[in-house]
Amino acid sequence: MSAVPASKTRKMVVRGLLLVVYVGLAAFMLLIGRQHTILIDNKSAEDGSYEAIDGILVSVDGKEGAEYYSGDRDKATVQGQSHKIRIEVFSDGTVTEKTFKVPLWEDMTILSVPKLLAGIEPFNEKFVPLTVVLPAEDQQQYTSLPAEEPAAEGVLEELLPVLSQ
Amino acid sequence: MSAQKKLGRFISEYAVVIIFTVITVACIKPSGLSLTYIIQEIITRLGRNSFLVLSLLLPIFAGMGLNFGMTLGAMAGQIGLIFAVDWGIAGWQGLVFAVLVGLPVSLLLGWVCGAVMNKAKGREMVTGYILAFFINGIYQFVVLYMMGSVIPLRSAAITLSRGYGVRNTLNLESVRQSLDTLLMLKIGPFMVPGAAFIVIALLCVFIVWFKKTKLGQDMRAVGQDMAVADAAGIPVERTRIVAILISTVLACIGQIIFLQNMGNLATYNAHDQTGFFAVAAILVGGASVTKANIPNVFVGVILLHAMFIVSPLAGQRLFGSAMIGEYFRQFIGYGVIALSLVLYAWRSRKAIDNARAGLRQGAAGSSGASGAVDANNKGAAK
């Protein structure tokens, strides 16, 4: 078996390395550039385990903050996986800062501020939008026009004498 | 050379630039736009379009004319952007990702384009134009049928409601003006997209450097005479393919820069007019099919876009309809390409005629001289 010349091997190694760098750069851009939507939620738990806070200023990654009152929900758009949230409570002026991570392929995450302040983990989780499945008869109602109903029996007979007058 | 001849030559050489300058200056007043607004718009459009127009230079150096095949690179750039949006990569990172995805596609398409053009030497422009239509069909097939079915798409927002294919218009909000705003400079009353201009300046430096390299010199030699270059041992076909490859890759990046500034992508026809407007711009700047340089690019972009800015409003004020200005824009775009090609053909024919006349005169002069020599010889013999 003939040996591969050293220059050819070096060329192949360099090309291989370049390919690795190329793919690595694309992966790095994906990691640092991936955009996520964070739904910032200020609602009480249904079981009463935590209560919504009336009046807070929330900012994510040092961006301009937004005011939230009890029952409010808004969104923030962020890039990358690791983020810092800053919460300022109006009533006592306390400031809480916390770091959290969003998984790479999670487009939308919901972050509960009352949970975070109450120290309940995890305070952020994947947001799954509600899907409403209509009952079969309701679907029928929206997908096709109602069939023409036959005239009630006997009505025509009653009307005919009236119309003929 | 007499002053009249000099003036005639100047006018014939810069006819397109002169016509454009006159029309644009004449339209400024009726448009009612302030000079500050016009300059700001020109600065924005310089950042948006210059990269695309610069991508035309190398094929001209290599004697391949105006590369209408740059549309192929534009399509590759759009594919890169589709993936960047689909994978939710925002900001300048999204642009870099789009370039990284578009690059291999543009290399492949550039190689195809170069190989086809090598089979159609001397007819590169029309070949590139038709090739763009052909590849457009493949692009439409891939984006309309294969994306979402064979090539997975993540985002429902960009997928057609039937479940596969990309929507007609994509919102590039995630990458919108991310290059422009990376380094926005305020110079007087004007906002200058610094990062975009740095990228364009780097490309200009690359072009100047490239012209001095061995490959750049080979390209110029091929552009001047393919037979002589071949006899000198230059791999003509390979050099031509490299010129088209670089042009296609630059067009890919240029289209990404263009679209990030626009903020939306007309998936199926954003690339249609890319080659056409880039070619129009470089011709307006005083370039020809065989000769172009970096100043031609900037003069062309400034003049063409100054006219694009003022003509719709001038049309509205003068004729009561903004559409007149729009028609005018199209008419001027195609008209300038036609005029440049006609002038180029006319100049080429004139140069050939002059060369023939010179040869005839030379032959007549040399035959007269040889006759005199013969007579002298005869006289001496006597």
Q: Which domain holds residue A65?
A: 35-126
Least confident of A118-122, B198-202, B367-371: B367-371
Assess if residue B100 is contained within a domain.
yes
> Searching chain A, which residue's CA lies closest to the CA of residue B99?
A26
Q: Tell whether the model's pLDDT for residue B58 goes beyond 90.
A: yes
Q: Is residue B378 part of a domain?
A: no
Residue B144 belongs to domain with CATH number: 1.10.3470
B368 belongs to a structural domain = no
The structural domain count of chain A equals 1
Q: Choose from A35, A37, A109 for mutation: most chain B CBs within 10 A.
A: A35
- The alpha carbon of residue A138 is apart from the nearest alpha carbon of chain B, in Å, by 22
Inside any domain, residue A159: no
- Domain for residue B381, yes or no? no
Domain contains A43? yes
A26 contacts B88? CB cut-off 8 A = no
Share of chain B above pLDDT 70, in %: 93
Please answer yes or no on whether B96 and A25 come within 8 Å at the CB atom: yes
Q: How far apart are CA A82 and CA B33, in angstroms?
A: 47
Residue A159 scores a pLDDT above 70: no
The verdict on residue A2 lying in a domain is no
Q: How far apart are CA B109 and CA B115, in angstroms?
A: 10
Cα B338 from Cα B340, distance rounded (Å): 5
Q: What is the mean pLDDT of chain A?
A: 84
Quick one: angle between helices B236-262 and B70-86, nearest 10?
A: 50
Q: Position B33: which residue type? A: L
- Are A79 and B101 an interchain contact pair (Cβ–Cβ within 8 Å)? no
Judge whether B282 lies within some domain.
yes
For range A18-32, the mean pLDDT: 96
Enumerate the β-bridge partners of residue A101: A82
- Residue written as token pair 């053009």: B117
Residue of B nearest to A26 (CA): B97
Whether A140 is covered by a domain: the verdict is no
Instruction: Please name the amino acid found at residue B100.
Output: L
| Backbone torsion region of residue B183, taken as left when φ is above 0, otherwise alpha when ψ lies between -120 and 50, otherwise beta | beta
Angle at B328 between CA B325 and CA B331, to 5 degrees: 160
Among B107, B116, B142, B84, residue whose Cα is nearest residue B260: B84
Kindly report the nearest CA distance between residue B84 and chain A, in angstroms.
Answer: 9
User: pLDDT-based confidence at B230, cuts 50/70/90?
Assistant: very high
Question: Among A130-144, B125-139, B149-163, B311-325, whose mean pLDDT is lowest?
Answer: A130-144
Q: What is the pLDDT of residues B159-188, one digit of tens each?
A: 999 999 999 999 999 999 999 999 999 999
Average pLDDT over residues B364-373: 53
Q: What is the pLDDT of residue B321?
A: 74
- Whether residue B152 is contained in a domain is answered as yes
Give the pLDDT band of residue A139 (cuts 50, 70, 90). Answer: low
Residue B348: CB atoms within 10 A of its CB come to 13
> Residue B87 and residue A34: Cβ atoms within 8 Å?
yes
Q: What is the DSSP string of A16-71?
A: HHHHHHHHHHHHHHHHHHBEEEEEEEE---TTSSS---SSEEEEETTPPPEEE-TT
Look-up of token digits 């000099």: B6
Q: In what helix (H) or strand (E) does residue A108 lie, and over which residues does it extend?
A: strand A108-112
Looking at the 3D structure of chain B, how many domains does it have? Answer: 1
DSSP B175-187: TTTTTGGGGEEEE
pLDDT computed for residue A78 by the predictor: 94
DSSP symbols for B297-345: HHHHHHHHHHHHHHHHHHHHHHHS-HHHHHHHHHHHHHHHHHHHHHHHH
Tell me if B83 sits within 8 A of B98, measured CB to CB: yes
ipTM: 0.82
CATH number at residue A119: 2.60.40
Is B89 within 8 Å of A29 when comparing Cβ atoms?
A: yes
Q: What is the pLDDT of residue B286?
A: 87
If you measure CA to CA, which chain A residue comes closest to B92? A33
B85: CB partners within 8 A, 6+ apart: B94, B155, B158, B170, B171, B172, B174, B175
End-to-end CA distance of chain A: 113
Chain A contact set for B101 (CB, 8 A): 26
Give residue B365's pLDDT.
62
Residue B376 has pLDDT above 50, yes or no: no
Paired with B100 in beta bridges are none
Write phi, then psi, for B262 (nearest 5 degrees): -70, -40
Closest chain A residue by Cα to residue B91: A33
Residues of chain B whose beta carbon is less than 8 angstroms from a beta carbon of chain A are: 87-94, 96-97, 100-101, 174
Please answer yes or no on whether B89 and A26 come within 8 Å at the CB atom: no
- Count of CB atoms within 10 A of residue B195's CB? 19
Single-letter amino acid code for the residue at A15: R
Residues of B in contact with A26 (CB under 8 A): 97, 100-101
Indicate if the pLDDT at residue A91 is higher than 70. yes
Q: How confident is the model over A131-138, as a mean pLDDT?
A: 67
Average pLDDT over residues B299-318: 87
Mean pLDDT on B302-325: 82
Residue range of the domain that includes B132: 11-348
Nearest C-alpha of chain B: how many angstroms from A34? 4
Q: What is the pLDDT of residue B45?
A: 95
Q: Which of A25, A26, A33 lies closest to B91 in CB terms?
A: A33
Smallest CA–CA separation between A13 and chain B, in Å? 20
CA of A26 to nearest chain B CA: how many angstroms apart? 6
As a whole number, mean pLDDT of residues B250-259 equals 97
Q: Is residue A150 predicted with pLDDT exceeding 60? A: no
Is residue A11 one of the residues assigned to a domain? no
8 Å CB contact of A79 and B93: yes
Which whole-number Å values give the CA distances from B252 to A114, B2, B245, B247, B365, in the listed order? 48, 47, 11, 9, 56
When scoring B81, B93, B101 by the number of chain A Cβ atoms within 10 A, the one with the most, hence best to mutate, is B93
- Is the pLDDT at B236 greater than 50? The verdict is yes
Strands (E), B176-293: 184-187, 190-193, 264-266
Residue A146 lies in a domain: no
- The chain A residue lying nearest B100, using CA atoms, is A26
Q: Which residues of A touch B (CB under 8 A)?
A: 22, 25-26, 29-30, 32-36, 77, 79, 107
In angstroms, the separation between the Cα of residue B54 and the nearest Cα of chain A is 25
Between B335 and B29, residue with greater pLDDT: B29
| The total number of residues written for chain A in this structure | 165
Mean pLDDT in residue range A22-44: 94
Mean predicted confidence (pLDDT) in B314-340: 75
The answer to whether B89 contacts A30, with C-beta atoms less than 8 Å apart, is: yes
Q: Which of B87, B92, B174 lies at the smallest CB-CB distance from A30?
A: B87
In the prediction, which pLDDT does A164 show? 58
Six token digits for residue A85 = 């949230």
Residue A95 confidence (pLDDT):
93
Of residues B309 and A147, which shows the higher confidence score? B309
Q: Is residue A18 part of a domain?
A: no
- Report how far residue B33's alpha carbon sits from residue B305's, in angstroms, rounded to the nearest whole number: 14
From chain B, pick out residues whose CB is under 8 angstroms from the CB of A25: 96, 100
Contacts of A33 in chain B (CB under 8 A): 89-94, 96-97
- pLDDT(A89) > 50: yes
* Domain membership flag for residue B4: no
Q: Are A48 and A119 in contact (CB under 8 A)?
A: no
Residues 6+ apart with CB under 8 A from B295: B285
> What mean pLDDT is predicted for residues B314-337?
75
CB contact under 8 A, B100 and A22: yes
Look at residue A138 in the predicted model and tell me its pLDDT. Answer: 57
Per-residue model confidence (pLDDT) at position A153? 54
pLDDT band at A158, cuts 50/70/90? low
Whether pLDDT at A124 is above 90: no
Q: Which two tokens stand for residue B106?
A: 């543009």
Higher pLDDT, B242 or A142: B242
Task: Please indicate, yes or no, whether the overall pTM of this predicted structure exceeds 0.80.
Answer: yes
> Is pLDDT above 70 for B158?
yes
- pLDDT band with cut points at 50, 70 and 90 for residue B373: very low
Q: Which of B88, B91, B93 sits opposite A107 (nearest CB)?
A: B88
In this model, does residue B91 exceed pLDDT 90?
yes
What the block records as the tokens of B70 is: 């740059």
Size of interface A-B (CB pairs under 8 A): 38
Distance from CA of A133 to the nearest CA of B (A): 18
Contact assessment for residue B234 and residue B217, using Cβ atoms and an 8 Å cutoff: no
* CA B58/CA B218 separation, integer angstroms: 12
Nearest chain B CA: its distance from A20 CA (Å): 13
